[in-house]
Amino acid sequence: MIMQGSRMNPVKKSKYRYRTQMIITEKDHFSATNSHTPITTVLDEFYKMGPGPSSSHTMGPMRITYDFYQRISRLPAEQLARATALKVHLFGSLSATGKGHGTDRAALAGLLGKSPADCPSEFLDGITLHPDQNYQLNIGPARFELSLKDIIFDSVTGNFHHSNTMTARLLAGDEILYELEYYSVGGGFIEWKGYNPPEKGKPRYRICHARDLKKFLIDDKIPLAKLLLEQEMSVSGKSEKEIMEFLDQVTEVMIRGVDNGLKTETMLPGPIHLCSKAATINRNLHKTKKANPGRAITQIASYAFAMAEENARGHIVVTAPTAGSAGIIPAVVKALRDIKISQQKIREGFLAAAAIGYLCKHNATLSGAEGGCQAEIGVGSSMAAAMIAQAVGEGPRVVSNAAESALEHHLGLTCDPVAGYVQVPCIERCAFGAVKAWTAYCIASEEIPEEHKVDLDTTIQAMALTAKEMNSKYKETSEGGLAASLVLC
Ligand code: SF4
């Protein structure tokens, strides 16, 4: 109501004109300063598997402790024979908010050698249900008894290299046998003291924007999926077989997550006391005899709920592009499987979706803290629209138009997670993101592609500009929007 009133306010109108001028100025600035370095993001940096609900506070820490587990597994037997304990210290933001996120259970699971990609949900839940349980870990001659007590919430303030710092130690009594300082740098990415980014190959195609991609498709007369695969191989150095195996693993993790979510009915963790609803919606959909014109929409929404609720439970998800938006692409993958789209076509869909995500990451942002929810749910929906169009065999123009439409109709979406939990509005937003993706594909596949007015680069640029202009209250602070207006009882 306040917003409607202010739109009619003449004072605000003049402010609006001023803001329009600002936008033009920033647009010029944006065009002049935007990086023209080619995109070199690769699939396994983008689709990361690990426990939700937070890529920085659960996925990153589990990847860190699993990395430490792998490192100490390679130590000489004589060194391991002396070891008596393993300890992980959480600092900064990980210590301040890690309890609520479940950072300690994710870190313990990784330390116990559970792979972030396929740690069973039951194992993670077991740690929460039995917080005092000891777990036996054998590495070579070393024998450890580990529990949540070995994950220590250490100093919140201090002169840390990064706000999400962790230290992992292998000890013999008080003596440190091996130690490494790690950083969970966001998006599930991890680094450590002395980290050097992996060397990448030279991209076969120099792509900064969607228009570059379009030019190569026309000039080289090459199908989109083939171009994207060649690009991935050139940058990552991986073979086609390795890339396809990775995409198959991503598919399986997503499908498993949706299936788990459809079977599970629980109150989700945290202060909101939110009841999950994927299982209810799916069950009611299948038991009703009456005609339901929205059947397909309800089905895909239930899939998105299922995966997003799994994220809220701290179970294994795939960032696509983030943990908060992790329900969208799995819903689409499951729906594509329902209509018997082959795994090869789904792999091609993943390549197209990643290309859209890369363009958004390169020219705007994927972070709710930087750009609001348009950067997470909006990009996820755009990626999903491209995936559907590619997987069902549409040409690149339709793929691009579908992606553009889905992103366009999320522009300006704010990030306002209630109580700081990735639940309200995030879970339902995944459902709407998936449905909008399918709508965008439907429109793009039936319109005359050449008459689609807005191109993808323009919309990505609009997202970047909107992100810059967005009030910081709406960037993952939980100080605005629903987070401010919803009163929790
Ligand atoms: S509201 Fe914020 S935390 Fe939730 S999905 Fe959107 S960007 Fe992520």
Mean pLDDT along residues 3-21 = 30
User: Do the Cβ atoms of 323 and 54 come closer than 8 Å?
Assistant: yes
DSSP type of residue 179:
E
CA separation for the pair 186, 57 (Å, rounded): 8
Question: Ligand 1 center to residue 55 CA distance, Å?
Answer: 12
First vs last Cα of the chain: how many Å apart?
A: 24
**pTM of the shown model:** 0.89
**Can you state the angle between helices 396-408 and 210-220, rounded to 10 degrees?**
170
Atom 1 of ligand 1 has which residue's CA nearest to it? 415
Residues 37-58: pLDDT tens digits?
999 999 999 999 999 998 889 9
Atom index in ligand 1 nearest the CA of residue 413 equals 6
Amino acid identity of residue 181, one-letter, is E
User: Do the Cβ atoms of 376 and 55 come closer than 8 Å?
Assistant: no
Pocket flag, ligand 1, residue 368 (CB < 6 Å): yes
Name the residue of 370, 426, 427, 482 whose CB sits within 8 Å of the most ligand 1 atoms, as the mutation to test its pocket: 426
CA separation for the pair 121, 125 (Å, rounded): 6
Atom 6 of ligand 1 has which residue's CA nearest to it? 373
Q: For position 35, what pLDDT does the model report?
A: 59
Question: Ligand 1 center to residue 154 CA distance, Å?
Answer: 28
Question: Ligand 1 center to residue 431 CA distance, Å?
Answer: 13
For CATH 3.30.1330.90, the residue range(s) in the chain are 55-186
% pLDDT > 90, the chain: 84
Pocket flag, ligand 1, residue 324 (CB < 6 Å): yes
Mean pLDDT along residues 195-223 = 96
CA separation for the pair 244, 357 (Å, rounded): 18
Atom index in ligand 1 nearest the CA of residue 414 equals 1
Residues 78-122: pLDDT tens digits?
999 999 999 999 999 899 888 888 999 999 999 999 999 989 999
Atom index in ligand 1 nearest the CA of residue 416 equals 1
Let me know if domain 55-186 sits in CATH 3.30.1330.90.
yes
Name the residue of 410, 415, 473, 479 whose CB sits within 8 Å of the most ligand 1 atoms, as the mutation to test its pocket: 415
Atom 8 of ligand 1 has which residue's CA nearest to it? 324
Atom 7 of ligand 1 has which residue's CA nearest to it? 373
Give me 137's structure tokens.
């870990």
Name the residue of 373, 379, 381 whose CB sits within 8 Å of the most ligand 1 atoms, as the mutation to test its pocket: 373
Give me 281's structure tokens.
């919606």
DSSP type of residue 136:
E
CA separation for the pair 271, 418 (Å, rounded): 10
CA separation for the pair 261, 312 (Å, rounded): 10
Name the average pLDDT for the chain: 91
Pocket flag, ligand 1, residue 323 (CB < 6 Å): no
pLDDT tier, 489 (very low <50, low <70, confident <90, very high otherwise): confident
DSSP for 464-482, written as a single string: HHHHHHS-GGGBTSSSSHH
Question: Ligand 1 center to residue 377 CA distance, Å?
Answer: 7
Beta strands in 309-365 (DSSP E): 316-318
Pocket flag, ligand 1, residue 366 (CB < 6 Å): no
CA angle, residues 68, 71, 73, in degrees to nearest 5? 110
Question: Ligand 1 center to residue 101 CA distance, Å?
Answer: 15
Pocket flag, ligand 1, residue 377 (CB < 6 Å): yes
On the question of pLDDT at 343 being above 60, the answer is yes
CA separation for the pair 182, 162 (Å, rounded): 9
Pocket flag, ligand 1, residue 398 (CB < 6 Å): no
